[in-house]
Amino acid sequence: MRKLTLVLSLFVVPALARAQKPEKPPKRPKLEAGADTNDARTYMDYGFKKFDDDPEAAASAFYWAARINPDNAEAYYARRAALIVDDNRILATYIDGSTHDKETLKSYRALDSLELRATLLNPFLYRRLEGRMFNEYIRGLNNLSPGDAQLHYVINTYLQNAGPSMRAWAAYNDGDFDTALQQYATAMKGDKQPAATHLERARIFGMRAQTDSAIAEFNSALDELRKKDAKSLVFVYDSKATIEHSIGVLLEAHDRPAEAREAYGRALQEDLSFYPAHVSLGLLALGAKDTTTAISELDLAVQIAGNEPYVRYVYGYTLAAVGKRPEALTQINKAIELDPYYALSYITLAEIQERSGDHAAARAAYQAYLKHAGRQDPQRTDVEAKLLAMAPETGGTEHR
């Protein structure tokens, strides 16, 4: 649930900065023999399996899934969910809005950066762990043991006495989006936070590819937020800049690039340092062969979020695409330094070095890719073939 209003809308940049700070990596979960430890999906599956019984282990698994595949929105969302479930006080804060103490509130707010990352990567991600979080909350509230046969009855009784917002959320958890939309519409009649309800409806419409309905709900949420004082409290991942960015993502996905560009521009009007909009504008420009704008926007993004490996990677890729290889090498090497587990960076590095004539360095980079790539990675076969062609006398590849 999203009942609390914890973070100032003016705090978008600090929250993004928190997301940039490297956290101490948790220990990698020990997977079963033969598991592919370079496959993010392997860690995601492990995390979902462990979520109910060992949320701490699940959170660690989701962390490593995100390191291996940093554009996986579900990994950030799932890690946040596991960390919430791992602390009963934080779970109560999430579900019913109760705040036990300042320390609990602080711990809860510290998880905002994970939700923000997930939202920026995929505003329309189906949050499939909400129901399991709710079940754990009800179980703890009623002192039921795991697997207690009464749990289903207690949950149904709770929902029968709940308001339309809670019933909408429960319907969403069950995948019943029609009922969820209807219940959210009912909830808005006396809703003290209509912006949040409009956003829930917008995201459901977006999931269903109902673009215009989603945009209408996003705009209604923006109207509600603009009625408030500039210092009103909102979730950082529900800020006006984030909402405009979500509109842009939706429009871009439905092949409306001009409108998407306008939405990203409005996000920057809300917050000039909102770097995801600079990245999106840069990639749109690159697709339109406007290399000057692409480089300018991505350079701004790197100035704002230089510790984000994905931003460095995209900038490096763009610089390489326009023939600026020395500058591209700088960015890709920095991306690898920040996240050495992301295999795709090594392919870009290898291609830059190969075009620069440094075949020894290119071979080393391709081999590094094979070391970090999952067994089913779609580019693995091509890289193995390249290595064989580049150095047939050495056997070329490293097999895992």
SS3 380: helix
Give residue 358's pLDDT: 94
CA gap 334, 340 in Å, rounded: 10
In terms of pLDDT, which residue wins out, 262 or 93? Answer: 262
CB distance 173 to 134 below 8 Å: yes
SS3 331: helix
Q: What domains can you pick out in the chain, each with its CATH number?
A: 1-135 (1.25.40), 274-337 (1.25.40.10), 343-400 (no CATH)
Mean pLDDT score, 229-249:
77
Give residue 103's pLDDT: 81
Give residue 94's pLDDT: 85
Mean pLDDT score, 135-144:
86
Q: Minimal CA–CA distance to 59: which of 101, 33, 87, 32?
A: 87
Q: Which of 14-28, 116-130, 132-146 has the weakest average pLDDT?
A: 14-28
Q: Band of the pLDDT at 376, cuts 50, 70, 90?
A: very high
Mean pLDDT score, 192-205:
91
The conformational region for residue 346 under phi > 0 = left, psi -120 to 50 = alpha, else beta, is alpha
Q: Minimal CA–CA distance to 159: which of 180, 128, 190?
A: 180
- Residue corresponding to tokens 């009649």: 189
Mean pLDDT score, 225-244:
73
Give residue 394's pLDDT: 44
Burial of 247 (0-12, 13-18, 19+ CB in 10 A): buried
Contacts 24+ apart (CB under 8 A), 375-383: 375/36, 375/38, 375/39, 375/400, 376/36, 376/39, 377/38, 377/343, 379/344, 379/347, 383/347, 383/350
Q: Is the confidence at residue 268, as pLDDT, over 50?
A: yes
Q: Residues of 348-371 as b/e, b for ≥16 C-beta within 10 angstroms?
A: bbbbbbbeeeeeebbbebbbbbbe
Give residue 78's pLDDT: 97
Q: Band of the pLDDT at 12, cuts 50, 70, 90?
A: very low
Q: What is the mean pLDDT of the chain?
A: 87
CA gap 332, 312 in Å, rounded: 6
Q: Is the confidence at residue 242, as pLDDT, over 60?
A: yes
Q: Band of the pLDDT at 229, cuts 50, 70, 90?
A: low
Instruction: Report percent pLDDT > 90 for the chain.
Output: 67
Cα dihedral sign, 251-258-285-264: negative
CA gap 181, 177 in Å, rounded: 6
Give residue 350's pLDDT: 97
Determine the residue type at 75: A
Rounded to 5°, the CA angle 274-278-281 comes to 140
Q: Is the confidence at residue 69, as pLDDT, over 60?
A: yes
Mean pLDDT score, 212-228:
92
